[in-house]
């Protein structure tokens, strides 16, 4: 959207174990809301969320993954490649965050589900959007294989990541997205594993208030796949967004932001006497 990048705070850097982590922080005294980007893009992927979430009173924070954007691995400073969950924990400690809301989309959802059972005392809520969860359970691995028909992974990233309606209506923004991916991941950067494998038993232990957002045109994490793992987190609320692909936060930011903010407001509402 025109001008949406104006809402992005500038990059800051934190020296953490094993990494100089690049992050954006809207500041302010509101409850922190930490955003985890997908296996594409960087913290700049949240351009359409920073402004509305900050305007709603939250301190919005997003960081580039180790080896992505401006986050540079530091082999002398700690083990490599580390995990996203551990980098998140280190950043939260560095910033001395009180309990915060955590939102992960797609691959960021993998990390959010990795973090939530590990450090539940640091969270006020959990939001996972358009994410297969990267589960190691055989039944979930089979569902992912069912989606990945021969040749699927060879399709252009744009086709796998962005829904057809958005591609039809917004070719300029699709081209901008593609350009952003060219420099998002540093050449030769190692993939960060999960801190511990994501399993259905692991997420069944989550007691944090949770929202899941599905996208009906998502080729990587379709609603039926998400429903398969969400059955193991029965307290999770589910909000479907129609005619959006895997990049649902970019494709339909108004609906996405409204769903997140409605959930957060209800989480933070005072309990009835």
Q: For 111-127, how does the pLDDT look when each residue is reduced to its tens digit (9 = 90+)?
A: 999 999 999 999 999 99
Q: What is the pLDDT of residues 23-48, one digit of tens each?
A: 999 999 999 999 999 999 999 999 99
Q: Which residues contact 248 (CB under 8 A, 6 or more apart)?
A: 105, 129, 130, 213, 215, 218, 241, 256
Band (pLDDT 50/70/90 cuts) for residue 104 is very high
User: Helix, strand, or coil here: 215?
Assistant: strand
Asked if 239 and 211 touch (Cβ cutoff 8 Å), the reply is yes
How far apart, in whole angstroms, are the C-alpha atoms of residue 219 and residue 160?
6
How far apart, in whole angstroms, are the C-alpha atoms of residue 234 and residue 108?
21
**Residue 130 scores a pLDDT above 70:** yes
How far apart, in whole angstroms, are the C-alpha atoms of residue 255 and residue 107?
20
| Other C-beta atoms lying within 10 Å of the C-beta of residue 117 | 20
Asked if 212 and 238 touch (Cβ cutoff 8 Å), the reply is yes
* Residue carrying the six token digits 């939102």: 103
The number of CA neighbours under 13 Å toward the Cβ of 55 is 9
Fold classification of 4-268 is Rossmann fold (3.40.50)
Q: How much is the mean pLDDT over the chain? A: 95
pTM: 0.96
In Å, how far from its chain's centre is CA 164?
Answer: 22
List, in sequence order, the alpha helices (H) in the chain. 47-55, 84-94, 107-115, 138-147, 157-161, 164-169, 171-182, 200-204, 223-230, 248-251, 253-268
Q: What is the pLDDT of residue 149?
A: 85
């Amino acid at each position: 959207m025109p001008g949406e990048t104006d809402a992005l705070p500038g990059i800051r850097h934190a020296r953490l174990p094993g990494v100089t982590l690049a992050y954006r922080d809207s500041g302010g005294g509101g409850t922190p809301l930490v955003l985890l980007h997908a296996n594409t893009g960087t913290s700049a992927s949240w351009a359409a969320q920073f402004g509305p979430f900050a305007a709603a009173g939250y301190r919005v924070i997003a960081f580039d993954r180790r080896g992505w954007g401006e986050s540079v691995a530091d082999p002398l400073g700690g083990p490599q490649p580390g995990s996203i969950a551990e980098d998140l924990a280190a950043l939260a400690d560095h910033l001395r965050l009180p309990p915060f809301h955590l939102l992960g989309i797609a691959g960021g959802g993998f990390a959010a589900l990795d973090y939530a059972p590990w450090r539940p005392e640091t969270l006020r809520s959990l939001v996972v959007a358009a994410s297969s969860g990267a589960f190691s359970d055989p039944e979930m691995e089979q569902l992912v294989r069912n989606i990945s028909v021969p040749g699927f992974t060879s399709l252009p990233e744009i086709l796998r990541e962005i829904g057809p309606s958005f591609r039809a209506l917004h070719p300029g923004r699709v081209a901008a997205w593609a350009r952003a991916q060219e420099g998002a991941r540093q050449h030769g950067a190692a993939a960060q594993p999960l801190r511990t494998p994501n399993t259905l038993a692991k997420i069944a232990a989550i007691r944090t208030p949770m929202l899941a957002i599905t996208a009906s045109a998502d080729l990587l994490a379709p609603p039926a796949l998400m429903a398969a793992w969400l059955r193991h987190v029965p307290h999770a609320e589910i909000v479907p967004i129609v005619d959006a692909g895997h990049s649902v936060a970019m494709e339909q930011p108004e609906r996405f932001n409204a769903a997140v903010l409605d959930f957060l407001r209800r989480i933070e509402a005072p309990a009835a006497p």
